[in-house]
Amino acid sequence: MTATSHPLLRVENLHIDIHTATHTKHVVRAVDFTLERGKTLCIVGESGCGKSLTALALLDLLPAAARRRMTRLEFAGQDLSTLNARQLAELRGARIAMIFQDPMTSLNPVFQIGTQLIDVMRRHKRVSRREAAERAEYLLRRVGITNPEERMRQYPFELSGGLRQRVMIAMALMCGPELLIADEPTTALDVTVQAELLDLLRDIQAEFGLGMVFISHDMGLVARIADHVIVMYAGDIVEGGTVQEVLTRPSHPYTAMLLNCIPQPGRTAPRTDLPTIAGAVPSLDVAIRGCAFRERCPVAEARCAQPLVSRVQGSHRCLCVKPGALLATKTAGVSA
């Protein structure tokens, strides 16, 4: 079997635990997904659902108190769980790159932009400083930054939030990665810049043939960029499938309620309260049995407290005993 016959990324039964002095918190449970080359998988959910920890676990970049365990973690047919620290360091930034949520804290404030871009490439590739600088200038121009020679001499604080995020995209592409992980890369930006960066990511993905894991809490953004979607709640994948399946025909009540919360200008009556999801996400200090969403779910019943098995129909899966019981009235702009 050749390397190209493997999915680009395969994750099976990923768990993440946080160990404290008194007990262990199970913050991510039984996560499974695959990603094909050139495709985009979006992980969506509320803050604290475990989506960013899942992304960090792929590169073994979890906080010190956190531990990952899984049945399988493969990248291009290679078992990542067997790699030592040096081998993982060689992989990060070279074949797998990550765009973090806040570029201001990801870029080093005391080094010029050009220095940071050049260092990334020279760490992983045997190239001269001049070759790396030429690559950096090309990529800065490619991500829409004018006067790249001047920008390379600037420091991060001299750039706007949108420009810093474009720099982070260029940095991620310096070594020609096969997989790009984008952790809420547009969260702190205005909607115009968000749209520009989404278009840029899609163009770059098509140009370089990247597989992409895109993390977001915004269903509208997910609808624009995803091929496949997984919805997380309190550490569980509650639903997954193609973007059309999940966002136009949601099976899990949580997914349907998330979609119903999306404002629709021109279709929502003036001075009308937007729908909300009552209640709060369960505390990490409480052991979750059965469906984690049942305390907030309007169609919950007694059997929801029992252990759940994901129901699968084709590529569409749902962690619910009553799939499709709650209908979505909105579809995040995805065509059926």
Residues forming a β-bridge with 239:
231, 318
End-to-end CA distance of the chain: 36
Q: How far apart are CA 316 and CA 114, in angstroms?
A: 45
All structural domains of the chain with their residue ranges: 103-176
Contacts of 74 (CB under 8 A, 6+ apart): 6, 7, 9, 10, 80
What is the per-residue pLDDT for 210? Answer: 94
Environment class of residue 196 by beta-carbon count within 10 Å: exposed (0-12), middle (13-18) or buried (19+)?
Answer: middle
Degrees to nearest 5, angle at CA 233 with 230 and 236: 75
User: DSSP secondary-structure letter at 275?
Assistant: P
Distances (CA, A) of 205 to 57, 129, 211, 294: 23, 26, 7, 38
What is the per-residue pLDDT for 104? Answer: 83
What is the per-residue pLDDT for 298? Answer: 92
Q: How far apart are CA 37 and CA 212, in angstroms?
A: 8
pTM over 0.85: yes
Q: For each successive 10 residues of the chain (336 residues), what is the average pLDDT?
A: 72 95 91 96 93 95 94 94 92 93 88 97 95 96 94 96 92 95 85 87 91 92 94 96 94 93 72 83 86 93 88 89 77 56
The crossing angle, in degrees rounded to 10, of helices 161-173 and 113-124 is 20
Q: How far apart are CA 82 and CA 227, in angstroms?
A: 29
Let me know: does 136 contact 121? Beta carbons within 8 Å: yes
